[in-house]
Structure 1
Amino acid sequence: MKTWIALLLALSLPLTALANSGGEEAEGENAAPKVAYYNLVPALVGNFGPGPKLKFYKADIALRVTGSEAEEKVEHHEPLIRNQLVMLFSQQTEASMSGQDAKEKLRLEALKQVQDVLNQEEGKPYVEDLLFNNLIIQ
């Protein structure tokens, strides 16, 4: 029984040393900035497209930023970002929101709009990528 305990301790010591050494590097001056995903909560919901029949969308969006400064800037300008995205989505047609290629084109346009807003307000785009966690049209 004692040998089993000694064996378990001997095997777990290198693992705890590895786990503890990883934190020291991240706290150093040369540590890479932290990548974060800023979720726009609640999801964007609205109607789109011309015509008498109403069409709706629901978009769960995450913005990829690097560093706490970028995350703070995005959070500060979230109302303006949300407005810009709602305006973009409301101008779409059914063809521009359905299909994989159309959604990718819409995603890139949404990213450009968000970066333009932040460039105008802060002089820097801050957002590196925009992801649709979920995009539903009906």
Structure 2
Amino acid sequence: MADDDNKDVNEEETGGKSSKKLIIIVAIVVILAVGLAVGATLFFLKGDSSASDAAEVPVEEVKKPAIYFDIKPPFVVTFDVEGRQRYMQVFVSAQSRDQASLDALELHMPLIRNKLIMLFSSQDFQGLQTAEGKASLRLASLNLINEILEKEASGSSIEQVLFTNFVMQ
């Protein structure tokens, strides 16, 4: 009977040892599996971030807001049309996205006003009554101002010349 009790104790001890070994082996396998999963995830995410960084390099340039400068006083030009005196009054504004260009415009205003008056007075009165004639005068004014600014203010330029009021009679 004593032998039967020793057998039961020995079986319990060996059974307990094998179940402890099984738990340890399972725990090690689980830890290794989690470690491999984390390592693989980091490896693939690292590869994706470098590819997305390369794709994000070309950044679209943000446009600055437009700044306007009113050229005052308005321009008044006389025309002689078929022996009659005709007048044109033009309110002009300049648009730029660079304050330095508008500062240069203001600095060279006497030269710009002189050239614009000469340009306006050399126009054909009948041609200015059409939309195409006004658009052409606007473009010629822009080119004239940018030419002066490029020469006098080392490369400054404006984006548009705007006629805010245009009266002919």
For 1:99-118, what per-residue CA distance to the aligned partner results, in whole angstroms no more than 9, with x for missing partners? 11111111111111111111
Q: Deviations over 1:67-126 (max 9, x none)?
A: 221121111011111111100011111122111111111111111111111112123142
| Bigger Cα displacement from structure 2, 48-57 vs 75-84 | 48-57
Q: Which has the higher strand share?
A: 1
Q: Does 1:37 align with 2:68?
A: yes
**Structure 2 residue aligned with 1:132:** 163
Residues 1-138 of structure 1 mapped to structure 2, 5 A cutoff: 33-49=64-80, 51-138=82-169
Give, in whole Å, the separation in 2 of the partners of 1:119 and 1:51: 39
Provide the rounded CA distance (Å) in 2 between the counterparts of 1:102 and 1:122. 29
Amino acid at match of 2:95: R
Gaps in structure 2 of 5+ consecutive residues: 1-60
Residue ranges of structure 1 left out of the alignment (5+ in a row) = 1-29
Of structures 1 and 2, the larger Rg is shown by 2
Name the % identity.
Answer: 27
State the structure with bigger RCO (CA 8 A, min sep 6), 1 or 2. 1
Match of 2:31 in 1: none
Higher helix proportion: 2
Instruction: Give the Cα–Cα distance (whole angstroms) in 1 for the partners of residues 74 and 156 of structure 2.
Output: 22
Per-residue deviation, 1:49: 4.6
Q: Hey, what's the Cα distance between the residues in 2 that align with 1:40 and 1:116?
A: 17
Name the SS of the counterpart of 2:159 in structure 1.
Answer: strand
Q: Which amino acid aligns with 1:55?
A: R
TM-score normalised by structure 2 residue count: 0.59
CA distance in 2, matches of 1:74, 1:134: 20
2-structure distance, mates of 1:66, 1:126:
10
Distance 1:48 1:118, change over 3 A: farther
Kept in 2: contact 1:48–1:89 (CA 8 A): no
Q: What is the TM-score of this pair, normalised by structure 1? A: 0.71
The count of aligned residue pairs is: 109
Over the aligned positions, Cα root-mean-square deviation in angstroms equals 1.9
AA at the equivalent of 2:124? T
